[in-house]
């Protein structure tokens, strides 16, 4: 455990020492990060079901203690797995930042970011956790600024603003638990006795605090702003991993509280809303990195559906339901990290080749970028939950858990689980429409000849990073039986159920009569994809070379502009959900013979409803209190004196 953390410290130090050698920093800095992640992967897999801890030597304030449970080992594995692929990718990708930023600092921050997430997972004290949580936020904001593009500073300020509100809520919640536990050590938080009112208040604080970092609706507004602004390998870490760290801590600290079934139902409902709103907003994006960011909101919702089911099962005393829920949530944690990391790396590859994030001006890139096209296709299959890719297995487990939960005794419980099933089903249907991401960018003919002619496949390092996650997408889908046994080591540490998720006499089974981990279903569904080809072979269909010609264009000469762009894929949906997709619409007409341009940029209504009024009020309040900024030193001294007197008076009466 100590060795793992020290490797990242060494990687960061060596990277910053290469401050004046940017080309060496690209290979050495990110290469060392990749090696550190690979060693850490092996360590966490080998110790998946074990507990581990260590205490730093020294007595400055206190000796920080770090501890890992089986659940912590699992989440740490997710961090370093995506970190490994992103680091390999960065060994070639960071070359384009040599002239824009200091690559040595970039590599140093990258290793520090991975280390900060690992330390947050293992922190075993309130003070240590809060400091490391803020470090993780600060380092990630610096990584966003590496790109230094348009609106980057605004994205960082929005991110930091929401993060600080979340950190305040988290700190308050931890201090409440520490008050009732009589200690700030997490080991003392086990089975803490506290009133249900205090428990509910703490849970709400955690839900807001960790939910804001995780990108849960309605605290998601920073995601579509920060991810398009960040470098693509950083986006893969933030979307694929950092938001999962927030979910880990939400589960970890919630389980310290006296549980109520309403805690699980609240997470379930927020998960349903996040999944549905996330996919709806993703459908209308033209910036494909913003589209992927909204998909993170959607998938965080799916994970919350599983975790909410698990927490409800624990509170209700139904260990089977708890095991199913936590298994589904944890499996989708790693699945989303893999396919979302892959999609962000593929998006970075497209940007690297075309220098644009607007999918509507691209097309036909599959011939120029075959590896990126295959990676994007596999990632879309994963996000659409299509077998045999990994997303199918975890969503199937989520359905199993919620369907079993819908058989509860309470009408409220039945309605909550049933509506969540409906929300997940609608999400699955709408996600299928995101085939547009592949179709518009890689299929068809080039919409911009100049971009297409200059496009080429990414360097070998970027391709290898994508290949690692491609293998992960397929492997975590096909090898579901093996994977769930590893995940159950973490789940059993929560539920104390002793269940085995693989097929057998000790398997988790639901009253619905199906085994939870059902790779057989994936195999059956996958086989149906081969059926048309078998029919064609048996029927001995015409195998002559097809005739190639331009599509019929109503008597006009065919033009690439006649191809469907991202907008028409969701045109009807935007009309139905116009109240949700309010935005800037503009029609540009020039001369009679010039093409008409249609611009439709949807805005997040939650930004206008919740955040803009708060920002305006803060600005007005700041203007009002600006009068105290007199500029005179003697006045500021008076302020300090009054403040100290007030503190002394309050301390006197409290003591």
Give φ, ψ of 47 to 5 degrees.
-115, 30
Highest mean pLDDT among 210-214, 477-481, 497-501: 210-214
DSSP state of 547: P
642 and 580 within one domain: no
Least confident of 40-44, 315-319, 575-579, 636-640: 575-579
Residue 513's pLDDT is 41
Alpha helix (H) residue ranges in 406-479: 411-431, 435-442, 449-454, 460-478
For residue 451, the tally of other CB atoms under 10 A from its CB is: 19
527 and 640 within one domain: no
Residue 490's pLDDT is 82
Residue 510 has pLDDT above 50, yes or no: no
Residue 585 has pLDDT above 70, yes or no: no
Least confident of 31-35, 43-47, 651-655: 651-655
Distance CA 56, CA 333 (A): 30
Give residue-wise pLDDT tens across range 77-94: 999 999 999 999 988 888
| 3 state DSSP class of 495 | helix
How would DSSP label each residue in 183-247?
SSBGGGGTT----HHHHHHHHHHHHHHHHHHHT-TTS-TTHHHHHHHS-HHHHHHIIIIIHHHHH
- Identify whether 244 is part of a domain: no
Domain-ending residue, one of 169, 191, 213? 191
Least confident of 303-312, 320-329, 343-352, 617-626: 617-626
Q: Label residue 532 exposed, middle or buried (CB < 10 Å: 0-12, 13-18, 19+).
A: exposed
Greater confidence (497 vs 276) lies with 276
Query: 423 with 54: CB under 8 angstroms?
Result: no
Residue 81's pLDDT is 92
458 and 532 within one domain: yes
Residue 376 has pLDDT above 80, yes or no: yes
For residue 655, the tally of other CB atoms under 10 A from its CB is: 5
Highest mean pLDDT among 52-56, 419-423, 597-601: 419-423
538 and 453 within one domain: yes
CA atoms within 13 A on the CB side of 151: 10
The mean predicted confidence, pLDDT, of the chain is 80
How would DSSP label each residue in 566-606?
HHHHTHHHHHHTTTTS-EEEEEE--STTSPPEEEEEE--HH
Residue 84's pLDDT is 92
Residue 516 has pLDDT above 60, yes or no: no
- Identify whether 345 is part of a domain: yes
Residue 519 has pLDDT above 60, yes or no: no
Greater confidence (557 vs 156) lies with 156
**Short-list 255, 573, 269, CA closest to 433:** 573
Handedness of CA 397, 403, 404, 410 (dihedral sign): positive
| Mean per-residue pLDDT, 400-408 | 81
Greater confidence (587 vs 486) lies with 486
Query: 35 with 4: CB under 8 angstroms?
Result: no
- Identify whether 620 is part of a domain: yes
How many helices (H) and strands (E) are present in the chain, helices listed first?
26, 4
Q: Please state the length of the chain.
A: 655
Least confident of 130-134, 216-220, 370-374: 216-220
Residue 508 has pLDDT above 50, yes or no: no
Residue with tokens 């989520």: 398
Biggest CA pair distance of the chain: 95
Confidence class for position 275, pLDDT limits 50, 70, 90: confident
Highest mean pLDDT among 43-47, 435-439, 509-513, 515-519: 43-47
- Identify whether 234 is part of a domain: no
| Mean per-residue pLDDT, 99-109 | 84
Residue 515's pLDDT is 44
360 and 301 within one domain: yes
Query: 75 with 83: CB under 8 angstroms?
Result: no
| Mean per-residue pLDDT, 350-368 | 80
571 and 528 within one domain: yes
Residue 544 has pLDDT above 80, yes or no: no
| 3 state DSSP class of 632 | coil
Residue 582's pLDDT is 66
How would DSSP label each residue in 123-140?
B-BHHHHHHHHHHHHHHH
105 and 25 within one domain: yes
Query: 457 with 463: CB under 8 angstroms?
Result: yes
Residue 511's pLDDT is 40
Residue with tokens 């209308």: 284
Query: 147 with 230: CB under 8 angstroms?
Result: yes
Structural domain that includes position 610: 605-654
Total number of domains constituting the chain: 3
566 and 496 within one domain: yes
Query: 434 with 380: CB under 8 angstroms?
Result: yes
Tokens of 97: 């930042």
Residue with tokens 């009024």: 613
418 and 284 within one domain: yes
| Mean per-residue pLDDT, 380-399 | 83
Residue 555 has pLDDT above 70, yes or no: no
640 and 576 within one domain: no
Give residue-wise pLDDT tens across range 60-70: 556 778 888 88
Confidence class for position 38, pLDDT limits 50, 70, 90: very high
- Identify whether 204 is part of a domain: no
Query: 549 with 558: CB under 8 angstroms?
Result: no
Give residue-wise pLDDT tens across range 446-489: 777 788 778 888 888 888 989 999 998 888 888 877 888 888 88
| Mean per-residue pLDDT, 427-442 | 74
277 and 170 within one domain: no
Least confident of 326-335, 525-534, 539-548, 607-616: 539-548
- pLDDT above 70 as % of the chain: 82
Distance CA 409, CA 439 (A): 46
Distance CA 29, CA 17 (A): 10
Residue 512 has pLDDT above 50, yes or no: no
Give residue-wise pLDDT tens across range 150-208: 677 878 888 888 888 888 999 989 988 888 888 888 888 887 888 888 888 999 999 98
| Mean per-residue pLDDT, 309-337 | 87
Domain-ending residue, one of 131, 159, 191? 191
- Identify whether 491 is part of a domain: yes
Query: 162 with 212: CB under 8 angstroms?
Result: yes
Domain-ending residue, one of 142, 159, 191? 191
Residue 641 has pLDDT above 80, yes or no: yes
Confidence class for position 592, pLDDT limits 50, 70, 90: low
Question: Strand pairing partners for 125?
Answer: 185
- Identify whether 494 is part of a domain: yes
Distance CA 421, CA 51 (A): 35
Residue 316 has pLDDT above 60, yes or no: yes
- Identify whether 524 is part of a domain: yes
612 and 535 within one domain: no
């Amino acid at each position: 455990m100590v060795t793992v953390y020290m490797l990242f410290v060494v990687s960061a130090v060596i990277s910053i020492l290469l401050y004046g050698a940017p080309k060496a920093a690209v290979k050495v800095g990110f290469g060392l990060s990749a090696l550190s992640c690979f060693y850490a992967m092996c360590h966490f897999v080998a110790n998946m079901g074990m507990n581990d801890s260590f205490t730093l030597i020294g007595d400055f304030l206190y000796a920080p203690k770090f501890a890992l449970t089986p659940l912590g080992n699992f989440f740490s594995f997710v961090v370093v797995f995506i970190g490994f692929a992103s680091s390999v990718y960065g060994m070639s990708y960071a070359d384009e930042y040599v002239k824009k930023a200091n690559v040595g600092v970039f590599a140093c921050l990258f290793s520090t970011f991975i280390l900060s997430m690992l330390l947050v997972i293992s922190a075993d004290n309130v003070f240590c956790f809060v400091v490391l949580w803020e470090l993780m936020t600060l380092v990630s904001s610096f990584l966003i600024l590496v790109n230094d593009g348009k609106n980057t500073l605004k994205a960082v300020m929005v991110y930091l603003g929401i993060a600080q509100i979340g950190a305040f809520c988290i700190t308050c919640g931890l201090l409440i638990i520490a008050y009732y536990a009589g200690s700030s050590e997490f080991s003392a938080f086990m089975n803490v006795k506290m009133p249900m009112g205090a428990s509910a208040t703490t849970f709400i604080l955690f839900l807001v605090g960790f939910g804001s970092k995780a990108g849960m609706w309605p605290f998601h507004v920073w995601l579509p702003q920060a991810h398009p602004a960040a470098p693509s390998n950083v986006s893969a870490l933030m979307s694929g991993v950092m938001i999962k760290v927030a979910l880990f801590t939400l589960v970890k600290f919630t389980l310290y509280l006296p549980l109520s079934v309403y805690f699980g139902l609240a997470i379930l409902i927020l998960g349903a809303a996040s999944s549905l709103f996330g996919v709806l907003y993703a459908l209308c994006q033209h910036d494909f990195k913003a589209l992927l960011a909204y998909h993170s909101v959607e998938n965080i919702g799916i994970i919350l559906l599983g975790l909410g089911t698990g927490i409800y099962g624990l509170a209700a005393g139904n260990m089977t339901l708890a095991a199913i829920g936590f298994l589904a949530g944890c499996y989708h944690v790693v699945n989303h990290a893999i396919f979302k990391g892959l999609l962000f790396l593929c998006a970075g590859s497209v940007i690297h080749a075309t220098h644009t994030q607007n999918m509507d001006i691209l097309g036909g890139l599959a011939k120029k970028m075959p590896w990126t096209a295959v990676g994007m296709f596999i990632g879309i299959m994963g996000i659409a939950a299509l077998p045999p890719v990994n997303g199918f297995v975890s969503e199937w487990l989520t359905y199993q858990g919620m369907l079993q939960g819908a058989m509860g005794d309470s009408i409220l419980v039945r309605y909550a689980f049933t509506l969540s099933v409906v929300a997940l089903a609608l999400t699955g249907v709408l996600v299928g429409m995101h085939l547009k991401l592949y179709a518009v960018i890689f299929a068809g003919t080039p919409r911009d000849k100049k971009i297409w002619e200059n496009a080429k496949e990414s360097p070998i390092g970027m391709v290898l990073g994508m290949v690692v996650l491609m293998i992960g997408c397929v492997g975590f889908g096909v090898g579901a039986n093996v994977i769930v046994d590893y995940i159950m080591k973490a789940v059993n540490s929560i539920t104390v159920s002793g269940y085995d998720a693989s097929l057998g006499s000790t398997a988790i089974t639901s009253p619905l009569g199906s085994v939870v981990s059902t790779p057989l279903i994936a195999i059956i569904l996958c086989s149906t994809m081969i059926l048309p080809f078998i029919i064609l072979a048996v029927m001995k269909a015409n195998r002559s070379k097809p005739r190639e010609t331009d599509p019929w264009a109503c008597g006009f000469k065919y033009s690439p502009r006649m191809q469907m762009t991202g907008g028409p894929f969701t045109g009807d949906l935007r009309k139905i959900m116009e109240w949700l997709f309010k935005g800037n619409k503009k029609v540009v007409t020039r001369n009679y013979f010039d093409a008409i341009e249609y611009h439709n940029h949807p805005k997040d209504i939650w930004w206008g409803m919740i955040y803009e009024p708060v920002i305006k009020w803060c600005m007005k309040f700041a203007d009002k209190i600006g009068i105290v900024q007199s500029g005179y030193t003697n006045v500021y001294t008076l302020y300090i004196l009054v403040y100290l007197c007030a503190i002394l008076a309050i301390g006197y009466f409290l003591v």
